[in-house]
Structure 1
């Protein structure tokens, strides 16, 4: 469950060839977002995640943050930390005193934080949607509909700040009626990062008595 939620956050933020059969305005705006994102050396995002299902009377708010640099990333979410050096992915769950080490997936459609902010460029039809004014910022929504009819995702609304060309909010609606929204609280670029930020010291956790799982 934790891994699925971590991967969902990855899906939210990070793209690559648009289905050109829909609105040219939507395509132009999404291309502008993509070109802006790939021009940064690194990106730091602080976000809030809200999961809501009215029928089940569920509403859960969670905060998290992620630092991205090329194929490398550090993601803090749901009390866990996930680190990738571009070759391996290390997931640390302090509550379980457990570390899982896996190879970075080579599958073309694999969802990882290194694809955050760019996921929308494949596998979706898209259309121009509503424009909102949020505290003086114009947020234009693009509606994404998965091409794959077998997916559990019904639709995605991607809110884009028309001035900065940054993603401000994403609202995903599932077939079961569950809505998951991600709101970007802070978006920083080209930060001074430590040389060791994306390096993982397995021995440090072994010395703490953590159980190491190598997949």
Structure 2
């Protein structure tokens, strides 16, 4: 897995946390909190969510412009992410990272004490501290009225200058998420298709080693 792939997957996992967060009651902007609470309530009302998305990475100074597409299926705390040729499956207890290019699968068990781990509990508390909220601009995107909410990290060591969460004012669903780095890098995740309550296979979030007979399985714990 390349460094760029790791960065991309990390941002997408951050996107998953956006979908499962319980926003802070101490948000500085009451209107921003009220809107984010609507987004959270809407998401939690769905049995499952299937998203097709576009991921863009831009840095004018470095002359970098990269676009990728991916999909993610979520149900409760489980998810299957397909992005940049990598599949990441979380069955509620273990995470399976499947890399066809290397014919390798990495398996890890959740450790709630690991601050870097993506856990169900953290998905519900991710933004409870460390960010300042405020309402931002309103833009029209393909006939949709998108209200942006700005989140500014309070930690000066955070490499992100700000995060913009775009919310479709009509549906209260997330339209896009924009991360702006202090060094000029801008990463944007845009939802192309948002489907809910789909009929999913029973084994949607079950890892089957038999599907990968020639793969090396690397168990980290």
Question: TM-score, with normalisation over the residues of structure 1?
Answer: 0.91
| Alignment equivalent of 1:8, drawn from 11, 29, 38 | 11
Please list, as runs of the form range in 1=range in 2, the aligned pairs for 1:98-177 lying within 5 A after superposition: 98-107=104-113, 110=116, 112=118, 119-177=126-184
How far is 1:21 from its partner?
4.9
Describe the shift of the 1:116–1:45 C-alpha distance in structure 2 as closer, same or farther (beyond 3 A): farther
Deviates more, 1:86-95 or 1:7-16: 7-16
TM score, norm. by length of structure 2: 0.89
CA-based RMSD? 2.0
User: Matches of 1:47 and 1:174 in 2, distance apart?
Assistant: 21
Give the paired residue count.
Answer: 213
Pairwise CA distance, 1:174: 0.9
Show structure 1 runs of 5+ residues with no match.
none
Name the SS of the counterpart of 1:92 in structure 2: strand
Counterpart contact for 2:23–2:36, Cα < 8 Å:
no
Is 1:212 aligned to 2:217, yes or no? yes
Match of 2:203 in 1: 196
1:117-152 deviation per Cα after TM superposition (whole angstroms, max 9, x unaligned): 985454310111100122221100001001222211
C-alpha change, 1:212 and 1:21, in structure 2 (3 Å) is closer
In structure 2, distance between residues paired with 1:166 and 1:51? 23
**Is the Cα contact below 8 Å between 1:34 and 1:118 reproduced in 2?**
no
Gap change, CA 1:56 and 1:113, over 3 Å in 2: farther
Q: Aligned equivalents of 1:30 and 1:121: distance in 2?
A: 12
